[in-house]
Structure 1
Amino acid sequence: MPVTPQDGRLLWQRRTPLAQWAIWFGWLALAVLFVFSWQVMNKNTIWLFVEDAPRQAADLLSRAWPPRWSYLDRLWGPLWDTINIATLGTGLGIVLATPVAFLAARNTTPSAALLRPLALLIIVASRSINSLIWALLLVAIIGPGLLAGIIAIALRSIGFIGKLLYEAIEEIDETQVEAVRATGASGWQIMDYAVWPQIAPAFAGISVFRWDINIRESTILGLVGAGGIGLQLQYPLCALAWAEVTVIFIVILATVAVSEWVSAKVRAAII
């Protein structure tokens, strides 16, 4: 807390003059950035379309309601495929992410100079690419279908599960590890009796939470040919069959709500 002399007294100030100028400069830079971003946004914006947007939205909603419930019978198979994509993709992601997490954690990695940076690179690469992009690449490599969606979900899950799990590993109580090591236990026994019991609740919670997220992400993978209900959504969108699109949206919303409820119940029972 800076103080400055004034009339022979010390006057308290919240910030030094240099800090105050730095704050004003920061606000000025933010204002300049806002003006620049606004100009970039307006450069290609056709404001006549924006003004007409409410009328267009009302017209679309009038064609989308009421839903065409007869279309519901064609959605059960794709919906089941979507659940399978999310579940199998999550399982594969867990299998791949677990060893990566142990290699990334400072207290369990065999090599902090080589293997830990490599594991962190895998985690960052997985988290940097959206599952839809993974699916697009895999459809081009192995062809359309459920397999591309499953692998895309798994590759996306590695980063999420690996990051949260290695942070949980680094937060364990080291005194328990030292106690087990003092008995002469091997490295695998230390993992089994000291490390794993401490991270098991977090591991279960992370896995269920990621499955819940994957249910949502797998609903759109079909738009690029990776199967599931997203593939069924593509046809009505191309045909402008908005009443059928509404049915699909309702089914997706119900599925996500159920998965959220299941995830919350399982995590509450585990943690």
Structure 2
Amino acid sequence: MPVREIAGAKVWRRRTTGEAMLRWVGWLIGVAIFVWCWQQISASTTWFFVWDAPRIAGDIIDRATPPRWSYMEKLWWPIWDTINIATLGTLIALVLAVPVAFLAARNTTPSTWIIRPVALFIIVASRSINSLIWALLLIAIIGPGVFAGILAIAIRSVGFCAKLLYEAIEEIDETQVEAITATGASRWQVMVYGIVPQIMPAFAGISVFRWDINIRESTVLGLVGAGGIGLQLSGSLNTLAWPQVSLILLVILLAVVISEWVSAKVRGAII
């Protein structure tokens, strides 16, 4: 730590003069970038609508209350579709994620130069594209509907599940694997008896956690035509049926809260 002498006394300083100047220059550059970005945002913003937003929001809330409770009879099937989209999409993703995870883990992949990079690419490609984008692409290929939503959720979830799972595989206790290998067990027997039991708690936790996330994501897939309660929300928004919109939002909130509760209970039981 630098020392500075003032009136014959030594004073400890956290940074040298050069370090302090460099820090101030960094702050000035940061402030300048912020001001420039703010100017760009301000130039492309219609501030009249921003200042008028509280009044518009209040007007929408007045129109949306009370919710149209009689519309609930038309939401049972869409919310069931939403749950099915999340559940089936998660199951498909788990089936696909397990082999990808084993191929991506350093201690289980057959080849760290060829197969592992391919598996990592699959993981990155899946995670880098949002489920809404996947839904739009799939709708263009196979048409709108629940099936497109299921596939969108599945493809989006593969990378998430595989990434967490291959990290769990790489963190296993190698002594158990060595002990089973020493008995003359085959590669598959080592995997079944030495690796799988160690990663099963992580696999169960990942499965429930991803299902919880997919419940939320599947509620909005209908906005692009992939089925579920989002489709009802899109139709109500397009017709400005605000009482129906408020009811749909309440149903979505309730579904997310229940899924969160179920997920927390299951994870607590596993852990």
Instruction: Tell me which interval the TM-score lies in, with the shorter structure as reference length.
Output: over 0.9
Mean alpha-carbon deviation: is it higher for 236-245 or for 47-56?
A: 47-56
- The whole-number CA distance in structure 2 between the counterparts of 1:4 and 1:100 is 58
What SS does the corresponding residue of 1:253 show, helix, strand or coil? helix
- The whole-number CA distance in structure 2 between the counterparts of 1:160 and 1:76 is 30
Tell me the residue number matched to 1:209.
Answer: 209
Matches within 5 A, 1:1-271: 1-3=1-3, 12-271=12-271
Report the aligned-residue RMSD.
Answer: 1.6
Q: Deviations over 1:214-260 (max 9, x none)?
A: 00000011111111111111111010000000010000000000000
Deviation at 1:8, TM superposition (A): 8.6
Deviation at 1:134, TM superposition (A): 0.4
What SS does the corresponding residue of 1:108 show, helix, strand or coil? coil
Q: Deviations over 1:114-163 (max 9, x none)?
A: 11111111111111110011001100000011110000000000111111
- The whole-number CA distance in structure 1 between the counterparts of 2:10 and 2:189 is 64
The amino acid across from 2:249 in the alignment is F
Deviation at 1:23, TM superposition (A): 2.2
- The whole-number CA distance in structure 1 between the counterparts of 2:187 and 2:20 is 55
Mean alpha-carbon deviation: is it higher for 95-104 or for 3-12?
A: 3-12
Deviation at 1:211, TM superposition (A): 0.2
Deviation at 1:5, TM superposition (A): 7.3
- The whole-number CA distance in structure 2 between the counterparts of 1:20 and 1:105 is 44
- The whole-number CA distance in structure 2 between the counterparts of 1:121 and 1:146 is 27
- The whole-number CA distance in structure 2 between the counterparts of 1:10 and 1:190 is 65
The amino acid across from 1:166 in the alignment is Y
Q: Deviations over 1:168-215 (max 9, x none)?
A: 111111121111111111111111111111111011000000000000
Deviation at 1:9, TM superposition (A): 8.0
The amino acid across from 1:59 in the alignment is D
The amino acid across from 2:13 in the alignment is Q
- The whole-number CA distance in structure 2 between the counterparts of 1:110 and 1:17 is 54
The amino acid across from 2:132 in the alignment is L
The amino acid across from 2:251 in the alignment is V
Question: Unpaired runs of 5+ in structure 1?
Answer: none
- The whole-number CA distance in structure 1 between the counterparts of 2:244 and 2:19 is 59
Task: Say how many residue pairs are matched.
Answer: 271
- The whole-number CA distance in structure 2 between the counterparts of 1:109 and 1:6 is 63
Question: Unpaired runs of 5+ in structure 2?
Answer: none
